[in-house]
């Protein structure tokens, strides 16, 4: 099958594209190589994918003519491109254009194709709000621009499904970590600080935050379970993540054990919109898709630490 992966040079997108290729599919990846973080990291991810015969195109979903830039046949679209996280340097316009406008334009492109592809939207636990411990049928209460715009993007996709204009689904991901994690995220920054003797910036109160830290390959395991389950997934939302909760403090201790050294911390003011707790309720995905993440936090962090040492 021919598959389009958006955000393919990013953290989760690159792993997803890689897995799809390993499953024998013809994969085309697109990315706009934004400057949200060091572009050289995305270029490195893209190079790894290109070495595995995955075509990577520089495409901006917001502004480019997608009909001109992309092939006119795909069996699936996996939409991972987004403006991520909570950043004081990002404007609402950044989140709106990348998460809402880009999704709408991609949907219009998908709807224009001769054969309508199955549309897999990648959403986030941030749509639930400051506490993300709920099943998919609970009303979301996002508390950040990121969560608000990702929820809007999800509704755009599901509206097309309800109108029978496209078939598709949305996966809400919980606290993903692992090799290729962005440099601004917890574990890449923590490992960097530990190895390079730099103080780790710890937001006030965040050491007590509870997270469903989920290894990236366990997330991809869930994403690819759409194959063969299209009828079950159509118009549905699924949480993907581990049910095991860990505090940020426990995560710091785990990295310290792996590095065999104490990591100094530097307290920063709390971040507005930062979630206090995430715990993936995956009853639906387990029952309907057979989803069952297995990687422990230490196993995943050992892999991420090894990746960091080999690449930086």
Q: Which residues pair with 177 in a beta bridge?
A: 215
CA distances, 224 to each of 22, 75, 122, 260, 271 (Å): 11, 14, 12, 36, 33
Is position 227 within any domain? Answer: yes
Share of the chain above pLDDT 70, in %: 100
- What does residue 55 show for φ and ψ, rounded to 5 degrees? -75, 130
Q: Which two tokens stand for residue 127?
A: 């749509």
Is position 153 within any domain? Answer: yes
Is position 68 within any domain? Answer: yes
Task: Give which of 202, 211, 206 is closest to 301, Cα–Cα.
Answer: 211
How far is Cα 184 from Cα 163, in angstroms, rounded to an integer?
Answer: 39
Q: Which residues pair with 79 in a beta bridge?
A: 6, 121
User: How many domains is the chain built from?
Assistant: 1
* pLDDT digits 0-9 by tens, 78-94: 999 999 988 878 999 99
Rounded to the nearest 10 degrees, the angle between the axes of helix 11-22 and helix 216-223 is: 60
Q: What are the catalytic residues?
A: 146
Is position 256 within any domain? Answer: no
Strand 168-173 vs strand 131-132: parallel, antiparallel, or unpaired? unpaired
Is position 258 within any domain? Answer: no
By residue range, what is the domain housing residue 22?
A: 2-174+216-240
Is residue 238 within 8 A of residue 173, CB to CB? The reply is no
DSSP conformation letters of 242-254:
-S--EEHHHHHHH
Is residue 52 within 8 A of residue 78, CB to CB? The reply is no
Q: Which residues pair with 124 in a beta bridge?
A: 173
Max CA separation in the chain (angstroms): 58
- Give the chain's residues under pLDDT 50: none
* pLDDT digits 0-9 by tens, 15-39: 999 999 999 999 999 999 999 999 9
Name the pTM for this structure: 0.96
Residue 229 sits in a domain whose CATH number is: 3.40.50.720
How far is Cα 272 from Cα 232, in angstroms, rounded to an integer?
Answer: 37
Is position 197 within any domain? Answer: no
* pLDDT digits 0-9 by tens, 246-263: 999 999 999 999 999 999
Q: Which residues pair with 277 in a beta bridge?
A: 131, 210
List alpha helices for the chain, DSSP H. Answer: 11-22, 39-51, 66-69, 92-95, 102-112, 145-162, 186-195, 216-223, 230-233, 248-259, 283-289, 297-311
CB-side exposure of 14: number of CA atoms within 13 Å? 21
User: Strand, helix or coil at 178?
Assistant: coil
Sign of CA dihedral 170, 271, 216, 174: negative
Task: Give which of 227, 165, 143, 188 is closest to 38, Cα–Cα.
Answer: 188
Is residue 263 within 8 A of residue 255, CB to CB? The reply is yes
The residues, ordered by sequence, that sit 6+ positions from 191 with a Cβ below 8 Å of its Cβ are 255, 259, 304, 305, 308
Task: Give which of 173, 172, 167 is closest to 235, Cα–Cα.
Answer: 167
Can you count the helices (H) and strands (E) in the chain?
12, 15
């Amino acid at each position: 099958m021919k598959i389009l992966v958006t955000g393919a040079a990013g953290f989760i997108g690159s792993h997803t594209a890689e897995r799809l290729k390993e499953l024998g599919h013809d994969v085309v990846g697109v990315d706009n190589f934004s400057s949200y973080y060091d572009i050289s990291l995305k270029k490195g991810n893209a190079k790894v994918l290109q070495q595995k015969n995955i075509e990577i195109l520089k495409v901006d979903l917001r502004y480019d003519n997608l009909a001109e830039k992309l092939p006119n046949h795909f069996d699936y679209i996996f939409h991972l491109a987004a403006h991520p996280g909570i950043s004081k340097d990002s404007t609402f316009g950044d989140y709106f254009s990348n998460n809402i406008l880009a999704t709408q334009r991609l949907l219009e492109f998908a709807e224009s194709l001769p054969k309508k592809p199955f549309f897999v939207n990648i959403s986030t636990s941030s749509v639930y709000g400051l506490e993300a411990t709920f099943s998919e049928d609970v009303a979301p209460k996002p508390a950040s621009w990121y969560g608000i715009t990702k929820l809007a993007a999800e509704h755009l996709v599901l509206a097309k499904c309800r109108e029978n204009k496209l078939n598709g689904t949305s996966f809400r991901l919980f606290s993903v970590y692992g090799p290729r994690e962005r440099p601004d995220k917890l574990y890449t920054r923590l490992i960097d600080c530990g190895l390079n003797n730099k103080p780790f910036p710890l937001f006030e109160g965040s050491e007590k935050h509870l997270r469903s830290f989920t290894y990236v390959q366990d997330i991809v395991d869930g994403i690819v379970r759409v194959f063969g389950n299209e009828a079950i997934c159509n118009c549905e939302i699924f949480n993907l993540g581990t049910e095991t909760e860990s505090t940020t403090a426990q995560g710091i201790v785990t990295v310290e054990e792996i590095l065999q050294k104490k990591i100094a911390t530097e307290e920063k003011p709390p971040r507005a919109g930062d979630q206090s707790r995430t715990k993936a309720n995956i009853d639906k995905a387990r029952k309907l898709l057979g989803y069952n993440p297995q990687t422990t936090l230490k196993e995943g962090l050992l892999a991420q630490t090894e990746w960091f040492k080999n690449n930086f």
